[in-house]
Amino acid sequence: MSMQEEVELLKNIPLFAKIDPSKLKLLAFASERLTYAVDDILFDQGDIGDAAYIIIGGEAEVLVATPGGPLVVATLKQNEIVGEIAILCNVPRTATVRAKTQLTALRITKDLFFSLVVEFPEIAVEIMRELAHRLDRTTKQLQEAVAQGQG
């Protein structure tokens, strides 16, 4: 994939939509493009967070350890970001992410991620929006689970 194609791809990701193409070129150059086979692990729950990943092709599953074994709590599709919580909060990974299909992802290191957030406050706003959506979804799932347990 050419640098121009990668910049076009990044422009389609809501997180980076408002960023100047010249800066996106730098992001494309500074980030690492990785390919995963089905069932490959991007990272494990409990790992130290050293990077965020943007899905640029394929799907991934988010799994959380439970007493009954791993539970799939979400499916990630193209243009979604994952792994940013461990970076932002400086906590271990909150879940395991596994390739559901053949997967291509852009790995953005912690340093690069923070320099982007500092330079482009709109990225921070988009991240807050995404995290708020996730929290809302999780709260609804929890309410449904509690309601089913009481029925």
pLDDT score at 147: 86
pLDDT score at 140: 87
* Average pLDDT rounded to a whole number, residues 54-58: 92
Residue 151 pLDDT level (bands cut at 50, 70, 90): low
pLDDT score at 37: 98
* Average pLDDT rounded to a whole number, residues 84-100: 89
* Average pLDDT rounded to a whole number, residues 50-64: 94
Residue 123 pLDDT level (bands cut at 50, 70, 90): confident
Q: Mean pLDDT of all residues in the chain?
A: 88
pLDDT score at 107: 93
Architecture of domain 3-150: Sandwich (2.60)
Taking the model in full, what pTM does it have? 0.81
Q: Which residues contact 35 (CB under 8 A, 6 or more apart)?
A: 102, 103, 104
Find out whether 107 and 87 touch, Cβ atoms under 8 Å: no
pLDDT at 145 over 90: no
pLDDT score at 127: 81
pLDDT score at 103: 97
Distance CA 115, CA 98 (A): 27
